[in-house]
Amino acid sequence: MKTFRVALLSTLAAGIAATGTARADDEAQVKAGNAVFQKWCAPCHASGPGHPGTQALQALYNGAKPAPLEERTDLTPEFIRNFVRHGVSVMTPFRKTEVSDADLAALTAYLIRTQR
Amino acid sequence: MRTPPGVKEADFAAALREFASAIGKQWVFTSDEDVDLYRDAYSPFWGEPEERQASAALAPDTVEQVQAIARIANRYKIPLYTISTGRNLGYGGSAPNASGSVVLDLKRMNRVLEVNENNAYALVEPGVSYFDLYRYIEERGLKVWIDVPDPGWGSPVGNSLDRGGGYTTHQFRNHFDAHCGMEVVLANGDLVRTGMGAMPGSKSWQQYKTGFGPAIDGIFSQSNFGIVTKMGFWLMPQPDAYLTGTVEVPRHNDLVPLVEVLNFLENSRICQGMSDLSSPVMGMPAPPDAPPSPPDLIALINKAIDGNARELDDYAASKGLTAWSVTIKFYGPAKAIAAQWEYAKEKFSVIAGAKFIDGELIRLPLTAGQRDKVHKVEFGIPSLSIFSMGARNANNPTPGDGHQWFSPIIPRNGEAVFEANKVFAAAGRDFGLPVPPFSIPFCFWERSFLFLFGFPVTHDAAKNKSTREAFRHLVQIAAGHGWGEYRTAPAYQDLIMSTYSFNNHALLRLHETLKDAIDPNGILSPGRYGIWPKHLRGARR
């Protein structure tokens, strides 16, 4: 019985540790994605004037959705990938030497962070 | 998989294996999904058979890898098309001149090798963007400025080799002129350093431009004679202060003396920044979200273009507006630039009715609050805000998919501005082009004006075809008046090179002689700026 209890506690502890590790991994991924966003996306998509992407989304949605991408809560990984790799209008695609697949995964984690 | 023209599939496959061995297979891109990322998003041939597309892409990380690639490409006669950041949108992006070329993407070579604050210079690799270099300098608190183009996501190496320009002072705005020393991989894989860099152990590679013997750096700009892997640039010591002053003159024909005085002040280095010309009465240049000009004003502008400006002058007077305005810019010690502005006012006072508006003296460095309000590029701060011009806005609810620049150099005098507007307005009407009612020249370059017409690129082949035809007509019309373009997209490089035809195309023939000598297999960026290797020349000439 004692052995079982120790095993159970060990399993629970391992589970908690695993959850903690996963959370830490997620946080690291979101942090990395924030850096990708600030480097590659913010010059056009940050909030405030002087950001053509934000200007374009304001004109497109007219307030129905937030114009700055970081304030959106409806973005999906497919949506983000499509615009990064295919662009739209005057926004051009980004090559993998600029935004790698790993960068794109991190960026996605950052932009959907509020949906968890 | 696409293959380069004239290369057997088996040879291409063997070359790709060797490229992978040299740089790592993860840096050899061959899938359509990956290679499509190298399409020119602003191609005027988008989706048409003539669109120039790559067959593969290579992304080396070191000079040695670039040398290895050149040797392999030479062995298999694989055409390479070199890009640094591939962001010269409107001038070709990351797509090659010759379809089937393998793009040599130097973006991973992104090291800032040196920034010397004391003597104000930098040495960088091709993948370093203006944003990267700016960030490097800011993080270290170095008191030097870079001069950036607009937008600023290109690279100092690529932009200067394409002979781009910026917004600070004369000495730095012409990015190629501001470079000092290059490292170049030749077609055979040999490695050359120019200027003082040719001396082993040189201590002044970025401090003296020409070294000893012929100064050959120029042949590596707007060309295909080598792969530049390092480049030095002179930087601007952070000035103490910045000041603008605006001069307004009442009559349309006052442009002539206005430009004469402006030229004197710029050529004397009294005002060092990039001057901004505008026309208050015409509302030109119009901001990106401006509504179209009213028809009655356009009619008056057209009369002025035809040589009768009296009604436009009367209209301006009735509205309390002036015909012309120029804002001149000063960088330096606060007391000195205030005195320079006072001197400029004296000079402009020869124009009857000239009015002066003092700008705010800004002491540098900028505060965080000031940074958000200023035109960033005039302070050496990279930005992408210029894309607001083409992006969706209230007056542009259906934006296009890009633009192409028609950018002729015009003599720096008022008469030439009038003549150019007469010619281009007529061409715009003839070809249905979105030419503004009156085009205001830019003062990027010393001694000359630059006209910039941005024509839309769409994903509609018929519309693009029509725009291309009009663009070609404009090039010919401009050449007929002695006006040539300073830069263009691959789609027009052959055409524009053909207009530089003095003495039966003697300059192009010299380029070709050099090409044949320096790159006999024609592997480096075939067709770039109209320079084709011998085996592809016949079809193009």
pLDDT of the residue at A2: 46
Report yes or no: B33 and B14 within 8 Å, Cβ to Cβ: no
Residues from chain B contacting residue A96 (CB–CB below 8 Å): 29, 34, 37
Per the structure, the complete domain to which residue A85 belongs is given by: 27-115
Q: How far is B85 from chain A (nearest CA, A)?
A: 8
Contact B391 A56 (CB under 8 A): yes
| Residue among B29, B387, B402 minimizing CB distance to A44 | B387
Report the percent of chain B where pLDDT is more than 70: 99
Phi, psi of B236 (to 5 degrees): -100, 125
Domain boundary among B215, B237, B259: B237
Domain of B52 in residue numbering reads as 1-109+501-541
Which residue numbers of B are catalytic? Answer: 91, 486-487
A55 with B42: Cβ contact below 8 A: no
Is A62 inside any structural domain?
A: yes
Number of residue pairs across A and B with CB atoms under 8 Å? 84
What are the two backbone dihedrals, phi and then psi, of residue B121, each rounded to the nearest 5 degrees?
A: -150, 165
- CATH number, residue B257: 3.40.462.10
- Asked if A92 lies within 8 A of B108 by C-beta distance, the reply is no
Summarised one tens digit per residue, pLDDT across range B165-220 is 999 999 999 999 999 999 999 999 999 999 999 999 999 999 999 999 999 999 99
- Interface residues of chain B, partner chain A, Cβ below 8 Å: 29, 33-34, 36-39, 41-42, 57, 59, 85-86, 89, 93-94, 105, 107-108, 127, 131, 153, 372, 382-388, 390-394, 396-397, 399-403
Residue A70: what pLDDT? Answer: 96
Cβ-based neighbours of B398, under 8 Å, separated by 6 or more = B392
Residue with tokens 């050899």: B28
Predicted confidence (pLDDT) per residue in B104-157, tens digit: 999 999 999 999 999 999 999 999 999 999 999 999 999 999 999 999 889 999
User: Using one digit for the tens of pLDDT, what is the confidence trace for B517-541?
Assistant: 999 999 999 999 999 999 999 755 4
- Residue A44: inside a domain: yes
B425-467 per-position pLDDT tens digit: 888 888 877 778 899 999 999 999 999 988 889 999 999 999 9
B/e letters for A59-68, b = 16+ CB within 10 Å, e = fewer, are beeeeeebbb
A97 chain-B contacts, CB cut-off 8 A: 59, 105, 107-108, 127
Interface of A with B (CB under 8 A): 39, 43-44, 48, 50-53, 55-56, 59-60, 85, 87, 89-98
**What is the C-alpha separation between B89 and B43, in angstroms, rounded?**
9
B474 assigned to some structural domain: yes
Same domain, B275 and B408: yes
pLDDT tens per residue across span B5-58: 999 999 999 999 999 999 999 999 999 999 999 999 999 999 999 999 999 999
Q: How far is A56 from chain B (nearest CA, A)?
A: 4
pLDDT recorded at residue B147: 98
Q: Are residues B405 and B467 in the same domain?
A: yes
For residue A110, give how far its alpha carbon lies from the nearest alpha carbon of chain B (Å): 22
Same domain, B245 and B227: no
Q: Are residues B362 and B243 in contact, defined by beta-carbon separation less than 8 angstroms?
A: yes
Looking at the structure, tell me whether residues B223 and B313 fall in a common domain: no
For residue B148, give the nearest of B441, B376, B388, B449 by alpha carbon: B376
What's the whole-model pTM score?
0.94
Residue B387: predicted pLDDT: 87
Tell how far CA A74 is from the center of its chain: 12
- Provide the pLDDT for residue B538: 77
Minimal-distance CA residue of chain B relative to A50: B385
Best B28, B29, B37 member to test A by mutation, with max A CBs in 10 Å, is B37
Contact A43 B383 (CB under 8 A): yes
**Residue B494 belongs to some domain of the structure:** no
Res. B239: pLDDT tops 80: yes
Alpha carbon B56 to its chain centroid, in Å, reads 26
Nearest to A97 among B107, B399, B403 (CB): B107
- Cα-Cα-Cα-Cα dihedral sign, residues B286, B327, B148, B220: positive
CA angle A32, A36, A39 (to 5 degrees): 135
Chain A nearest C-alpha distance from B321 (Å): 28
Query: Rounded to whole angstroms, how far apart are CA atoms B36 and B57?
Result: 10
Q: Write out chain A's pLDDT in tens, 116 residues.
A: 444 454 545 555 555 555 566 677 789 999 999 999 999 999 999 999 889 999 999 999 999 999 999 999 999 999 999 999 999 999 999 999 999 999 999 999 999 998 86
**Residue B385 to residue A56: CA distance in whole angstroms:** 12
Same domain, B8 and B74: yes
**B431 & B368 share domain:** yes
- The residue out of B480, B510, B531 marking a domain boundary is B480
Looking at the structure of chain B, the number of domains it has is 3
pLDDT digits (tens, 9 = 90+) for B277-314: 999 999 998 876 678 889 999 999 999 999 999 999 99
A53: in domain: yes
CA distances from A22 to A16, A107, B190 (A): 10, 17, 50
Contact A59 B29 (CB under 8 A): no
A59: chain B residues, CB-CB within 8 Å? 392-394, 396-397
CATH code at position B15: 3.30.43.10
Give chain B's mean pLDDT: 95
Residue percentage of chain B with pLDDT more than 90: 88
Give how far A22 is from chain B: nearest CA, Å: 28
Cβ <8 Å between A95 and B38: yes
Q: Which residues of B43-63 are buried (b: 16+ CB within 10 A; e: fewer)?
A: bbbbeeeebbbbbbbbbbbeb
CB atoms within 10 A of CB B459: 13
Residue-level pLDDT at B430: 85
Q: Does residue B342 register a pLDDT over 70? A: yes
pLDDT recorded at residue A18: 55
Evaluate whether residue B385 is within a structural domain: yes
How far does the CA of residue A20 sit from the closest CA of chain B (Å)? 33
d(CA B486, CA B175): 13
Residues with Cβ within 8 Å of residue A76, at least 6 apart in sequence = A112
Cβ separation of B399 and A95 shorter than 8 Å?
A: no
- Contact between chains at A43 and B402 (C-beta distance less than 8 A): no
Give the model's pLDDT for residue B441: 97
- Specify the number of domains making up chain A: 1
Same domain for B319 and B447, yes or no, is yes
- Token reading at B312: 């436009």
B405 CB neighbours in chain A (<8 A) are none
Option in B34, B42, B385 nearest A96 (CB): B34
State whether B314 and B426 are in the same domain: yes
Residue B174 maps to which CATH number?
A: 3.30.465.10
pLDDT at A1: 43
Domain check: are B155 and B205 in the same one?
Answer: yes
| Chain B residue with Cα closest to A95 | B37
pLDDT at B383: 94
